[in-house]
Structure 1
């Protein structure tokens, strides 16, 4: 089965407390999840009791399945239970909604709005049960990879209060010409999708009305894959193949704190026990407070449904002054950036940085051009470099300009990589794009007395004297820093993992 590659035992709450319409398929729905648990060696606990919705209980589970439980006649949850469910998702929990989980209508207040966003929409109406054709839009997802391009099956074909496409990663949609009904969605009719939402993962399918569908092998694999994905242990979300030396892992799917809608005030480093805790908003030097916060873009189809942070002359800063010093004084480094670029806004010519920790003499009168960074030319040629504090100036032998002369295309996602060797004499700096083959390289003389500054994402340094002036315009979905040069074999494995996870094309 799909989860044969997953060694961790997924823990699933198979939940069916309801308040409304009673499907004849309720019993077989519960039995199907229990069966999937048996064949996959999951721990499955079945409950029809809302008193089980406590923080202590939910913390045991990777995924809660709302298993065809309607809420169209009245509320299912108390206010306290609603808060528990929200906290569970906020803390990284997984949600799988089946069929009538989209018809929980009567919870009221802010929770009702939150829940409908968690599902993606709300079920509204349907014609009689009949055969229809589903179009598989995403064959790369673990829940749909087994399905034919077109899947014909008998079920109930709901319309929704709104089309969720702009907010979710649509996995399959309904061919509206293949069934008869008065109420349709105007030709674009998503029917199964997933999304990263409010700190957690949500998978929803409107399929699941009939008794017969629960014994359909394709349907069972669909739900199985949805549970694995929602648990965080699908193929797309397995751990990085190389963890030794990893000191920064910024993942736009996790650890984002929002302020003022979709604006990001903090991006948490996902490396456990790191002294580099998070990258935070910087207001110092800006005329308008909060204007330096990038925004969060959710569920990008081209990235297999992952999120990205959108920078428009904005930055997030880690305040640890010394966390990265050793990377340019002998240890070496490797960094990875899943990113896309926009048209660059005029600033300092050729310096549109997407990260850096430079210390420059003209800022604090203490440093002398030291640190490492990367950015784009005005026409989106990507470059990287290190600075050793021996010589000033923008580019020279002590401040090498490692440049790829082929511009990146706008609105296309790339994997950009930089690597600097270890040692105390001269080492090699290499730039890679979507490949193990370097597109540019130069030598760099090590100075063991160099002392870089704070690390910034979206800018070349803690530029309080001109925030946004040397920043880039574009997106970053994942950003990694290792405190050592990865071997070619490690580099290859990590490139393969990231390109598969984020659907990056060679």
Structure 2
């Protein structure tokens, strides 16, 4: 009799993950491919985002292989490019992602994924909302919350001390974005850069995270997230979660 009970308990426990998956609110595809300066973060980010997914009842599909874009993307509420060079997608994969966005798909772009070599994929540069110029060395600076109504700023202080590569961008395609975090250039040295490069100042208009709509979908971009330890930081993870939540559902913004 005891053996039968143990078998029944084991059977019920094996079914529990299936039941939990049935309650997922949405599914997120995360592509995280290693690059020269971004690879150590992957296992840490995966563990942290999986934990957030379990806590907040959504599903995450992880991949490092662009071949994931050869399959049906419509089952995902959003696609997250996590430090992944977008030019790694081949032409067919790029077209499938474009089709996904034109059908109402959504995107989250994190740090290195916002860098597109000039002319490599102009459509993706427009999706990001800004084009990468360069960045200074990692420094401690202050980020200013400029939009308290957006979920990616909930829980952040008005002035957030953070250490990162504060990307410099421009707007050659004249894309309208809604900044949520600005870098305060008086709090670090934008010209502290490697020999042979020239550091640029952007002034007061220096967005480091923003949102906008593109094609028929929602896009959240954050330029933060260079170092592996950031993916253990609760405030940074809350920032990411807010962007994911809005991109995937369209909810959470204070009207």
Normalized against structure 2, the TM-score is what? 0.81
1:94 matched to 2:106? The reply is yes
- CA distance in 1 between counterparts of 2:224 and 2:96 reads 27
Distance 2:35 2:82 in 1: 13
Matched, 1:146 2:163: no
Q: CA deviation at 1:19?
A: 5.7
Residues 28, 76 of structure 2: 8 Å contact kept = yes
SS in 2 for 1:128: coil
User: CA–CA distance in 1 between the matches of 2:239 and 2:181?
Assistant: 11
Q: Which residue of 2 aligns with 1:62?
A: 77
Query: Is contact 2:78–2:108 with CA below 8 Å preserved after alignment?
Result: yes
Gaps of 5+ in 1: 1-6, 237-499, 502-506
CA distance in 2, matches of 1:196, 1:18: 28
What residue in structure 1 maps to residue 43 of structure 2? 27
Q: Is the 8 A contact 1:55 1:88 kept in 2?
A: no
> Runs of 4 or more off by more than 6 Å in structure 1?
163-166
Unpaired runs of 5+ in structure 2?
1-22, 192-198
Structure with larger RCO (C-alpha < 8 A, sep 6+): 2
After superposition, where does 1:100-499 map in structure 2 within 5 Å? 100-105=112-117, 108=120, 112-162=121-171, 167-182=176-191, 183=199, 184-236=201-253
CA distance in 2, matches of 1:64, 1:46: 10
Q: Which has the larger strand fraction?
A: 1
Check the 8 A contact 1:96/1:203 in 2, yes or no: yes
Count residues in correspondence.
225
Q: Max radius of gyration: which structure?
A: 1
- Summarize the Cα distance change of 1:166–1:50 in structure 2 as closer, same or farther, 3 Å threshold: closer
Residues 18 and 107 of structure 1, relative CA distance in 2, 3 Å threshold: farther
TM-score computed with the length of structure 1 as normaliser: 0.42
Which structure carries more helix by proportion? 2
Cα shift readout 1:129-188 (whole Å, capped 9, x = no counterpart): 111000100111111122111111111111113389961111110000000131221332
Q: Is residue 38–residue 226 contact of structure 2 (8 Å, CA) maintained in 1?
A: no
SS of residue paired to 1:172: strand
Per the TM alignment, residue 9 of structure 1 is displaced from its structure 2 partner at its CA by 1.2
Counterpart of 2:61? 45
Are residues 19 and 78 of structure 1, via their aligned partners in 2, closer, same or farther at CA, if it must alter by over 3 Å?
farther
Structure 1 residues 286-317: Cα deviation after superposition (integer angstroms, max 9, x where no partner): xxxxxxxxxxxxxxxxxxxxxxxxxxxxxxxx
| CA drift at 1:124 | 2.5
Report the 3-state secondary structure (helix = DSSP H, G, I; strand = E; otherwise coil) of the residue aligned with 2:212. Answer: strand
Q: Secondary structure of the residue that 2:182 maps to in structure 1?
A: strand
Q: C-alpha offsets along residues 64-97 of structure 1, whole Å, 9 cap, x if unaligned?
A: 11011135xxx31111111101011111111001
* Structure 2 CA distance for aligned equivalents of residues 219 and 130 of structure 1: 16
Separation of aligned partners in 2, 1:20 and 1:70: 10
